[in-house]
């Protein structure tokens, strides 16, 4: 009889921390806090709230709720959190979703994680009127998009996502995902 797996590796994406001097959350303090509530093998990537950790096998919604409550209690402000199993991130990366696009210094690839599936009223693929922002795919509670910063800035593009999908979303540059993959 095969031994049942009791822990698994997860990746958490925290929204809105360490941005413009607001909601400061030092990564060392984050690691300590998460360790105190039982998460193990914690690795943080960048200062924007990307965390790899091990936890007992459970629904990611339960981890999100626990992590959000713990962080708000500890740091005194809400920290919206999206959690995915590490295998989900690996599958996404291996699928090479941007393979039909060329990365340049002006073009940025993004993945936005949704906490819940939300019906959108836009047709995908979507392109902004000025063609600076494109949503190329919606898959597995994630939105894949491309931004041409020579035409428009990130904040304008992200407003399209928030208007369409709400604020229960967090976005990462694809280069950040590649850094996470290297640590996995």
Model confidence at 2: pLDDT above 70? no
Which pLDDT score, from 0 to 100, does residue 179 have?
Answer: 97
pLDDT in tens, 45-104: 999 899 999 999 999 999 999 999 999 999 999 999 999 999 999 999 999 999 999 989
Which pLDDT score, from 0 to 100, does residue 167 have?
Answer: 86
Which pLDDT score, from 0 to 100, does residue 54 have?
Answer: 97
Which pLDDT score, from 0 to 100, does residue 1 have?
Answer: 54
User: What are the Cα distances from residue 142, in Å, to 18, 26, 41, 176?
Assistant: 23, 27, 26, 15
pLDDT in tens, 25-39: 999 999 999 999 999
pLDDT in tens, 90-144: 999 999 999 999 989 999 999 999 998 888 888 999 998 888 999 999 999 999 9
pLDDT in tens, 142-177: 999 999 988 887 677 778 888 888 888 999 999 999
Which pLDDT score, from 0 to 100, does residue 23 have?
Answer: 85
Which pLDDT score, from 0 to 100, does residue 177 have?
Answer: 97
DSSP string spanning 28-95? HHHHHHHHHTT-EEEEEETTTTEEEEEEES--HHHHHHHHHHHHHHHHSS---EEEEEHHHHHHHHHT
- Please state, in angstroms and rounded to a whole number, the distance separating the CA atoms of residues 110 and 71: 26
Residue pair 93/70 in contact (Cβ under 8 Å)? The answer is: no
């Amino acid at each position: 009889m095969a031994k049942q797996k009791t822990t698994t590796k997860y990746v958490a994406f925290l929204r809105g921390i360490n941005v413009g001097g607001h909601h400061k959350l030092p990564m060392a303090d984050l690691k300590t806090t998460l360790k105190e509530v039982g998460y193990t093998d914690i690795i943080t990537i960048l200062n924007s709230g990307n965390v790899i950790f091990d936890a007992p096998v459970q629904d990611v919604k339960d981890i999100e709720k626990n992590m959000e409550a713990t962080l708000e209690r500890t740091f005194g402000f809400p920290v919206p959190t999206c959690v995915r199993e590490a295998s989900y991130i690996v599958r996404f990366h291996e699928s090479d979703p941007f393979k039909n696009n060329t990365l340049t210094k002006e073009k940025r690839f993004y993945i936005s994680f949704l906490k819940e599936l939300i019906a959108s009223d836009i047709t995908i693929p979507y392109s902004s009127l000025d063609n600076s922002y494109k949503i190329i795919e919606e898959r597995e509670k994630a939105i894949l998009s491309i931004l041409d910063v020579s035409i428009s800035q990130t904040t304008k593009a992200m407003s399209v996502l928030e208007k369409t999908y709400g604020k229960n979303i967090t976005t990462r540059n694809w280069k950040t995902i590649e850094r996470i993959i290297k640590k996995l």
